[in-house]
Amino acid sequence: MDKEIGGRLKAIRSHLSLSQRQLARQSGVANATISQVEAGKLNPTVSMLKKILDGIPMSLGEFFSDDVQPQDRLFFRADELVEIAEGGVSYRQVGTSLATKAIQLLHECYQPGATTGRHSITHEGEECGIILSGRLRVTVGDEAATLTAGDAYYFRSSQPHTFENPGSEPCKLISACTPPSF
């Protein structure tokens, strides 16, 4: 899927008439990194891809969606949730195009040892989640806690934050973010 992400990023960047250098300046990600991602030589972490897409600007959901859902759609089957990440972290989003929506709802799964990346994530809005199973280490600013089934978190997303599964089993949770930022 590395080449798929790279090809998609290159197609979107080209469609917007952005050079790699322009995208690098706008996103704060090195030109060489963007080049490696587009060539399929580097699999970006969720936080890195989000940082690159912030330079477009485009959400992770928009990046991974194949089409636009009708705005009046009410129900979504499990196999219709849109996967907007890959590797050790799975984000399955309710709906595809959230440009006109106020909330982003995700079913998340972190494999053992999986993390959102070395770099903290920041974006506008608020987010919250509740752990369904497993363990999740949530770091927000200078505070950190390891949460288990039934535990929850809620914070302003402008605070630097990371997520990591320190356990030996997958961690599953439901999260919400407003406004949609992925």
Regarding whether 163 and 121 lie in a shared domain, the answer is yes
pLDDT single digits (tens) 62-100: 788 765 444 567 888 888 888 887 778 999 999 876 777
Q: What is the mean pLDDT of residues 32-60?
A: 89
Regarding whether 73 and 40 lie in a shared domain, the answer is no
Quote the number of domains for the chain.
2
pLDDT single digits (tens) 93-134: 998 767 778 899 999 999 999 999 888 999 889 999 999 999
Distances (CA, A) of 142 to 64, 120, 136, 152: 32, 11, 16, 18
Residue type, 162: T
Regarding whether 118 and 88 lie in a shared domain, the answer is yes
Regarding whether 54 and 134 lie in a shared domain, the answer is no
Q: What is the DSSP letter of 66?
A: S
Regarding whether 15 and 59 lie in a shared domain, the answer is yes
Judge contact between 53 and 45, C-beta under 8 A.
no
Regarding whether 135 and 107 lie in a shared domain, the answer is yes
Where is the domain boundary, 28, 48, 63? 63
Confidence of residue 2 (pLDDT cuts 50, 70, 90): low
Regarding whether 81 and 152 lie in a shared domain, the answer is yes
CATH number, residue 32: 1.10.260.40
Regarding whether 165 and 142 lie in a shared domain, the answer is yes
Q: How far apart are CA 49 and CA 41, in angstroms?
A: 14
Regarding whether 54 and 77 lie in a shared domain, the answer is no
- The range of the structural domain enclosing residue 141 comes to 69-178
Distances (CA, A) of 165 to 59, 62, 73, 110, 120: 24, 26, 33, 6, 15
Where is the domain boundary, 13, 40, 63? 63
Q: Look at residues 114, 90, 92 and name the one whose alpha carbon lies nearest to residue 169.
A: 114
